[in-house]
Amino acid sequence: MRRGLTHLGILVMAALIWAVVGLAGPARAVDAPDGAPNPTTSSVNEDLLFRQAPKIGGRISIPDQKAANLIQPQGREWRRFHESWMPWVGGLVILGMVAALALFYFTRGRIRLDHTEESGRKLLRFNVFERFSHWMTAFCFILLGLSGLNYIFGKRLLMPLIGPDAFAALSQWAKYAHVFLAWPFMLGVLFMAVLWVRDNIPNRIDIEWLKKGGGFLSDAHPHAERFNAGQKLVFWMVVGFGTAMGATGLMMLFPFALTDINGMQVMQVVHSLIGVVFVAGILAHIYIGSLGMEGAYDAMGSGEVDIAWARVHHDLWVKEQLAKNADGPQLGRGQVPAE
């Protein structure tokens, strides 16, 4: 009888242990000291790990503990964005702008300069340092834009054309260009911001200019000071996007200095989205500063514009300049007197 009771007791205990283990579910992974689950435990599964911690890490003996991070689930989201979304977003934004400019060119045509009796007289619009700052920034921007687009489209569009070896060599140079030209670009943006901020503060004249569509769709020429509302938008886009591109770029250039891997992925998303909008915006600027408007390029080329052109597009600025010149002392070196 006693032996029977002992057997029964053992059976009950065994059942209890089985029930407790069964209810507890599969064995939990033994956590690493920093709280991250241990991925080497045989019973772990990926889903469980992802639910338990934002990243999966192991134990390593080298000093850089960041290397212990094996999987970071947000990386998958980032990869999906970079590989699937970004080429589409970038392609649509940039090709959309090219199509819009082509449509504008074929419907409106080149904005012509009406010749008047004043034609041929010149007015200094941008001095040497202003033109230097502009072209340094423009040169860097074009190479930054092309090398940046190579990150998104290169392996899809260029590699099939030139082959993997040439593409690898070209991409390496493109990467150097991207990283080194970022510095003079940021400097150029800073120079332009300081040089032109005074003339780019929005005011009431800009509202009227915008209401009249800047005269682009009709023959009306709304009043404008040194920069019209459209140019002010370009200026603030360059300053705002230039600063954002610089800040996000620096965070990627100095990994882990200010943010972790997840933060750097966010920076990359912001950098690439702003980048494609920036390229599209500058395409519109390049169009209007060259092919789109007769006489506009001279302002950044020689620095001097025809007074007839300036009266049409920047009438208030011309008045101000002529008034200054009439007083005498403001005439700069190389500047031809306007009257």
Strand partners, 124: 304
Interface residue with ligand HEM among 36, 122, 124, 141 (CB under 6 A) is 141
Give yes or no for residue 186 binding ligand HEM (CB under 6 A): no
Give yes or no for residue 321 binding ligand HEM (CB under 6 A): no
Interface residue with ligand HEM among 55, 122, 134, 271 (CB under 6 A) is 134
In whole angstroms, how close is the CB of 337 to ligand HEM at the nearest point? 20
By CB neighbour count within 10 A (0-12 exposed, 13-18 middle, 19+ buried), where does 313 fall?
Answer: buried
In whole angstroms, how close is the CB of 264 to ligand HEM at the nearest point? 24
Give yes or no for residue 182 binding ligand HEM (CB under 6 A): no
Give yes or no for residue 292 binding ligand HEM (CB under 6 A): no
For the record, the structure tokens of 32 come out as 């690493």
Instruction: Provide DSSP, 103-170.
Output: HHHHHH--BPPPP-TTTT-EEE-S-HHHHHHHHHHHHHHHHHHHHHHHHHHIIIIIHHHH-HHHHHHH
Give yes or no for residue 244 binding ligand HEM (CB under 6 A): no
Give yes or no for residue 6 binding ligand HEM (CB under 6 A): no
- The span from the CA of 73 to the CA of 148, in Å, is 26
Q: Which is nearer to ligand HEM, 56 or 299 (CB)?
A: 299
Give yes or no for residue 286 binding ligand HEM (CB under 6 A): yes
Closest CA to 291 of 101, 116, 143, 138: 101
Interface residue with ligand HEM among 32, 138, 250, 277 (CB under 6 A) is 138
Interface residue with ligand HEM among 123, 282, 308, 318 (CB under 6 A) is 282
In whole angstroms, how close is the CB of 48 to ligand HEM at the nearest point? 49
Maximum distance among all alpha carbons in the chain?
129
Residues 6+ apart with CB under 8 A from 291: 105, 110
- Per CB under 6 A, contacts with ligand HEM among 11-70 are none
Instruction: Tell me how far the alpha carbon of residue 75 is from its chain's centroid.
Output: 21
Tell me which residues touch ligand HEM (CB under 6 A): 125, 134, 137-138, 141, 192, 196, 227, 231, 234-235, 238, 282, 285-286, 289-290, 296-297, 299-300
